[in-house]
Amino acid sequence: MAGNREFFNRKLHSLLGVIPVGVFLIQHLVVNHFATRGEEAFNSASHFMESLPFRYLLEIFVIFLPLLYHAIYGLYIAFTAKNNTSKYSYFRNWMFYIQRITGVITLIFLVWHVWETRIQAAMGADVNFQMMENILANPFMLAFYIIGVLSAIFHFANGLWSFMVSWGITVSPRSQVISTYVTLGIFVALSIVGIRAIFAFV
């Protein structure tokens, strides 16, 4: 019984990490990338997202609740997993280890980012280009955002590899090698989008 519950929890954790959390990450990066086109373009894209119908229901049930489950169960995995990188220094063992580290970093970053944006917006602040410009004017915050964004992207890309294995999409060793290159490509592509967006505010 406990084994079935563990299996279900891991499957759900894996699924939510890709859909909807991973999809939201990509959407968020794309919206932020509008900053590379200037202040007006970013503010328009941001305003469009804020004007979506049923926005609060979407945020609660499509973003925050799935993210909360993924984060809490992810912490359980991170602190109960037996990492054996010192004994078996294979590539996938290191990816397993880094996945847990980036998960914790991403969670810390997300909590802070939500506080700086969504919570401040609830208190009456405008979430716009100038807000992000002011935040990233601080060199410490700039470094924190770079680390946080790269951690989130790596966690998603590497988690996508695990998702495909877990859900029986990549079963053979060859398909898993191919998916490794694909997910590394996704990491690089999204990292370029994320870093360009950050520096557009600087």
Structural domain boundaries, residue 131:
2-200
- 19-28, 45-54, 159-168, 192-201: which range is least confident on average? 45-54
Q: What's the total number of domains in the chain?
A: 1
State pLDDT tens for residues 99-110.
Answer: 999 999 999 999
Instruction: Record the tokens describing residue 73, joined without a space.
Output: 């169960």
What is the predicted pLDDT for the residue at 14? 94
- 3-17, 71-85, 158-172: which range is least confident on average? 71-85
Q: How many CB atoms lie within 10 A of CB 13?
A: 21
The amino acid at 119: I
Q: What is the C-alpha to C-alpha distance for residues 22 and 15, in angstroms, rounded to an integer?
A: 9
Q: What is the C-alpha to C-alpha distance for residues 20 and 113, in angstroms, rounded to an integer?
A: 19
Bigger pLDDT: 92 vs 36: 36
What is the predicted pLDDT for the residue at 113? 95
- The SS3 call for residue 38 is coil
Closest CA to 70 of 4, 21, 8: 21
Task: Find out whether 154 and 102 touch, Cβ atoms under 8 Å.
Answer: yes
Closest CA to 153 of 184, 187, 179: 187
**pTM of the entire predicted model:** 0.92
Bigger pLDDT: 82 vs 150: 150
Which CATH number do you get for residue 49?
1.20.1300.10
